[in-house]
Structure 1
Amino acid sequence: MTQSDYDHREEGESLFEWPLDSAGMRMGAGELLDSLLATIQHLNRTDAWPLTILPPRFGDVLVDRERRQISAVCLWKRKPVKTHKEG
């Protein structure tokens, strides 16, 4: 992979949605935001997840307890494809 390939990865902005489990339903706003940020960090470290997600901006997070869902508009960039050299 060249530096050019690394710099020209697809990027965008999308709405991401996550279910609220019973623990999430009892959390306050600060706890929910901490949980959301932890989830994003986990996904960013997971090789199988194809995107690096930036934390949402203030006001871009919506908690819908009736639908048991938290959603956030986040910027993202596709992770570089790892290639394995055959030896």
Structure 2
Amino acid sequence: MTQPDDYDHREEGESLFEWPLDSAGLRMGAGELLDHLFEVIQHLNHTDAWPLTILPPRWGDVVVDRERRQISAVCLWKRKPIKNHKED
């Protein structure tokens, strides 16, 4: 079982994350792209297979490169706790 202290001492950091822009994303305005980016981050944070919890980026830390068809953002993150399952 994970100890309470383990929860507070998980690895954390700041990294550049990159996501591809599909054809719909290429047509979106700045506000729509940010909304979509936040939805993607929220989805990853709720996905057990994704090992990190990502904080939404600050406005100045997001770069949309339509020519390269990608959006990138510098985000703070923290490793998710390892879930231990107790068998009955």
TM (norm. structure 2) is 0.97
1:32 shift after superposition = 0.2
Instruction: Give the 4+ runs in structure 1 shifted more than 3 A.
Output: none
Counterpart in the other structure of 2:54: 53
Partner Cα separation in structure 1 for residue 33 and residue 71 of structure 2: 9
1:7-46 deviation line (CA, Å, top 9, x unaligned): 0000000000000000000000000000000000000000
Counterpart in the other structure of 2:16: 15
Counterpart in the other structure of 1:84: 85
Give 5+ residue unaligned stretches, structure 1: none
Give 5+ residue unaligned stretches, structure 2: none
Question: How many equivalent pairs are there?
Answer: 87
TM (norm. structure 1) is 0.98
**Code of the aligned partner of 1:25:** L
Partner Cα separation in structure 2 for residue 84 and residue 44 of structure 1: 20
Partner Cα separation in structure 1 for residue 85 and residue 4 of structure 2: 17
CA RMSD of aligned residues (A): 0.6
State the percentage of identical aligned residues: 83
